[in-house]
C-alpha cells in the first residue's frame, strides 16, 4: 500500500489505536497484594488470581501496542500494507479492519496452520 494518499489516514488510525492502548494500560493498573496474615489464605489466593488476570490483560495490551508501533514505523517508511512474507499488497479491506496487519490473508493462514 504505497499510495501516498492512503498513508496519512492509515498512520492516523494507527496513532489513534496506539493512544487508546496506552490509555487502557494506564486505566488498568496491577492490583496490590496485601501481605498475607494467618487465616487469610483464601483472600490472598483471590488477590493473586486478580493480579494474574490483570497481568495477563496488561501483557496482551502491551503486545498489541508493540504491533501497532511496528506498523506505524512500517507506514512511515512506506512498507505498511505490503505482506512481510510474500511481498504482495495486503488488501485494503484487511487493513481497514486490522491496520497493523503485516501479513496478507493467505500468508496469515499458512502461519496459523504452522502453529
Q: Is residue 28 part of a domain?
A: yes
Q: Which long-range contacts (C-beta less than 8 Å, at least 24 apart) are formed by 6-13?
A: 6/81, 6/92, 7/75, 7/78, 7/80, 10/75, 10/80, 10/81, 10/95, 10/99, 11/72, 11/75, 11/76, 13/99
Average pLDDT score over residue span 30-41: 67
Q: Is residue 105 part of a domain?
A: no
104-114 tens-digit pLDDT:
999 999 999 98
pLDDT surpassing 80 at residue 69: yes
pLDDT at residue 44, as a whole number: 75
Domain around 76: 6-81
Q: Is residue 41 part of a domain?
A: yes
Number of domains in the chain: 1
pLDDT at residue 63, as a whole number: 96
Amino acid at each position: 500500500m504505497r499510495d501516498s494518499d492512503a498513508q496519512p489516514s492509515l498512520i492516523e488510525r494507527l496513532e489513534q489505536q496506539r493512544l487508546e492502548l496506552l490509555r487502557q494500560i494506564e486505566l488498568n493498573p496491577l492490583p496490590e497484594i496485601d501481605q498475607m496474615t494467618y487465616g487469610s489464605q483464601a483472600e490472598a489466593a483471590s488477590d493473586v488470581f486478580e493480579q494474574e488476570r490483570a497481568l495477563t490483560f496488561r501483557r496482551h495490551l502491551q503486545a498489541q501496542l508493540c504491533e501497532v508501533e511496528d506498523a506505524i514505523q512500517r507506514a512511515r517508511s512506506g512498507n505498511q500494507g505490503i505482506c512481510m512474507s510474500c511481498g504482495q499488497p495486503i488488501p485494503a479491506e484487511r487493513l481497514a479492519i486490522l491496520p497493523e496487519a503485516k501479513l496478507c490473508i493467505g500468508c496469515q493462514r499458512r502461519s496459523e496452520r504452522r502453529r
